[in-house]
Amino acid sequence: MSGTGAARMSTTGADGMRVDVVASSWHDGVMSGLISGAEAVLREAGCDWRLHRVPGAFELPVVSAACARSGVEAVVALGVVIRGGTPHFDYVCDAATSGLTRVSLDTGVPVGFGLLTCDDEAQALDRAGLQGSREDKGREAAEAAVATALLLRSLRTP
C-alpha cells in the first residue's frame, strides 16, 4: 500500500493562510471523500480556503495555475482517473501530472498532489478517505501543500 510509512506533516503556523482547492467533478463519491479530507486539514490548520470545481482531471492544471497567480500560498489539486480500455487514461494522467508540476515550479506556489490514478474504482475508494478506506489522499495532499507553503514562507523570511 502506497501510504505505508507516510508521516503526518505539521501545519502549525498556517492560521490565516490562503489556500485554494481545485477538485474535479468525475466520480462524485470518491471526490466527496477527497474534498472532505482536504477540508478537515485546512479547517484544523485555520486556513482561509476556497473550493473550485472543474470538469475533470485534465482541467486541474489550468485552474490551479490561475489560483496560484491569484496570491494564494498553496493549492490543493484533487481528482481521480480510473483506467479504462483505451490509452486515454495514460494521456490524461500524464497531462495532469506534468501540468500540476509546471504550475508549482513556474509560480513557486506549492501544489498538493491529490490526483488518484487507479486501475479500478475499488482502488480509488480505498484511497478516498471514506469510511472503510485505508488511506485519505485528500488529507495528505492538503497537509503536503500547507507544510510546503510553511517551509517556503520560512525560507523567504530573513
Dihedral, 52, 53, 56, 61 alpha carbons, nearest 10: -10
For the question of residue 88 being annotated catalytic, the response is: yes
Q: Residue 136's beta-bridge partner residues?
A: 128
User: Do 111 and 104 form a contact (C-beta atoms < 8 A)?
Assistant: yes
Q: Which of 43, 50, 88, 153 is catalytic?
A: 88
Q: Among candidates 75, 82, 87, 74, which has minimal Cα distance to 120? A: 82
* CB proximity list for 2: less than 8 A, separation 6 or greater: 127, 135
Looking at residue 47, what DSSP letter applies? -
Catalytic residues: 88
